[in-house]
Amino acid sequence: MPRVVVHVMPKPEILDPQGKAVAAALPRLGFEGIASVRQGKRFELEVEGEITDEVLASLREAATTLLSNPVIEDVVALEVEDA
């Protein structure tokens, strides 16, 4: 079944407390040399049938309205796998 992967990240100007927490934890656990961490989301959508331009446009709309909050997040990528 074809799969679409949607990548969502907090906008650059938005504070990312989860990412900050990870960045602070890394050196405590012995992992040095990481300047910053941002945490976002990754969605894998299994699509029924073929992925046409129409389906993709609809998925892009779903990504920007339902999968992400456009006030604070950007859809940074939308990848089609096994199309």
CA distances from 4 to 12, 20, 21, 56, 68 (A): 24, 29, 29, 9, 15
Residue 48 in contact with residue 1, Cβ under 8 Å? yes
75 near a copy of itself, rule: CB under 8 A: no
Number of residues that bind a copy of itself (CB under 8 A): 35
Residue among 14, 61, 72, 81 that touches a copy of itself (CB under 8 A): 61
In this structure, what token pair is assigned to residue 30?
Answer: 């012995």
65 near a copy of itself, rule: CB under 8 A: yes
- For the chain, the distance separating the N- and C-terminal CA atoms, rounded to the nearest angstrom, is 8
Residue among 47, 56, 64, 80 that touches a copy of itself (CB under 8 A): 47
Binding residues (CB under 8 A) for a copy of itself: these are 1, 7-9, 19, 22, 25-26, 29, 31, 33-49, 55, 58-59, 61-62, 65-67
